[in-house]
Amino acid sequence: MSDTPLHNPHDRFFKETLGRTPTAAEFFRTYLPEEVASKLDWGRLERKDGSFVDETLRERHADLLFTVPWKDSEVFLYCLFEHQSNPDRWMAFRLLRYMVRIWETQLKRGPRRTVLPPILPLVLHQGLKGWRFSRRFRSLMDLPKGAGCGFEGFVPEFEFHLVDLAEWPIEKLRGDVLLRAILAAMRVVRERDWVARLEELAPLLNGALRENDSRFVRTCLEYVMGRSGEVDLEDFRGRLDRLKLGEIREDVMTFAEQLIREGRREGRLEEARAILRRQLSRRFGTLPEWAELRLSGATTSELEDWSERLLDAPNLESVFER
């Protein structure tokens, strides 16, 4: 389990919006099956700290864990935000690993437990391509064919609940105005021409403003504008005027200009990283993971230093010496 900083924009947006307990309650109450949602006490939903996602998958997954009372016990609700472009065939397997980590944490905190709490796993899929794989763990197993083979009882069996945003056009999203704005932003940010979709977001964002939640609207727009380096500023300004965002319009415009400058600067930096990566690969062969990590986080001055060292470095390690 980890509490690493939220550097990934998808992770940050997911946790700053659906991590708010009232919004999470609205999400679960709206999108879980009715036979489950109707039995839980949503007024007592509680968020738990920590993340259970593999370190290597943090660019693709983000997660939130909640508990909610049910009769005399409690249920864990584990929401995994899948923000890669393509659905993951092995999602049920990954969820099983994360669920085991949750149970291990509970056993450490209560070593005298005699039973484990139930976990309801939910996947929120952001990709534009619809989910096409089974949600059942057993579908991943290569079991002997034929009825009564005798292996069924020895194989773990569960399925996860799926909310696939590819199946939810903005106009058909359900829930209160804040929740619909969150899910709409998650859809729009994946699209190439997302600026044109801002006008579809306008009713939801203006509805959120009527709820006196300007900070939330700013969070949604900042997330959607994460690709603003590709945007014509004057076109964006005109579209923003039509959204009628009132008092926060200037803040949003200032943020857009800042993102555009940063996007262009990052583009130049990424180009320099790519050039050095090619030079290193030509000299030393395929780069190991640790070298790729150093390159991905390198500053301009570091890239310049490493490029100079490359000229007479005897091995890859000496290029990156501190």
210 occurs within a structural domain: no
pLDDT at 3: 44
For 49, the token pair is 């700290």
pLDDT at 259: 62
CA distances from 171 to 13, 184, 187, 199, 214 (A): 21, 9, 12, 12, 22
* Contact (Cβ atoms closer than 8 angstroms) between residue 226 and residue 190: no
Average per-residue pLDDT in the chain?
83
pLDDT at 311: 82
**What gap in Å lies between CA 59 and CA 295, rounded to an integer?**
16
Strand stretches in 83-181, DSSP E = 119-125, 161-164
233 occurs within a structural domain: no
Mean pLDDT lowest among 4-8, 13-17, 55-59: 4-8
Task: Please indicate whether residue 64 or residue 322 has the higher confidence score (pLDDT).
Answer: 64
13 occurs within a structural domain: yes
285 occurs within a structural domain: no
pLDDT at 4: 41
Model confidence over 110-131: pLDDT tens digits?
888 899 999 999 999 988 788 9
Model confidence over 134-173: pLDDT tens digits?
999 999 988 777 656 677 778 889 999 999 999 998 889 9
213 occurs within a structural domain: no
**Is pLDDT of 31 > 90?**
yes
Range 293-306 average pLDDT: 84
163 occurs within a structural domain: yes
The bridge status of strand 161-164 relative to strand 119-125 is parallel
Q: Could you give the number of structural domains in the chain? A: 1
Does the reported pTM lie above 0.75? Answer: no
134 occurs within a structural domain: yes
> Minimal CA–CA distance to 242: which of 205, 210, 207, 202?
202
223 occurs within a structural domain: no
213: helix, coil or strand? coil
Which range has highest mean pLDDT (3-7, 164-168, 226-230, 311-315)? 164-168
Secondary structure element (H or E) that encloses residue 74, with its range: strand 73-82
Segments forming the whole domain that contains residue 162: 9-167
> Minimal CA–CA distance to 63: which of 97, 110, 109?
97
- pLDDT interval class at 308 (50, 70, 90): confident
Task: Please indicate whether residue 150 or residue 319 has the higher confidence score (pLDDT).
Answer: 319
**Is pLDDT of 306 > 60?**
yes
**What gap in Å lies between CA 286 and CA 311, rounded to an integer?**
18
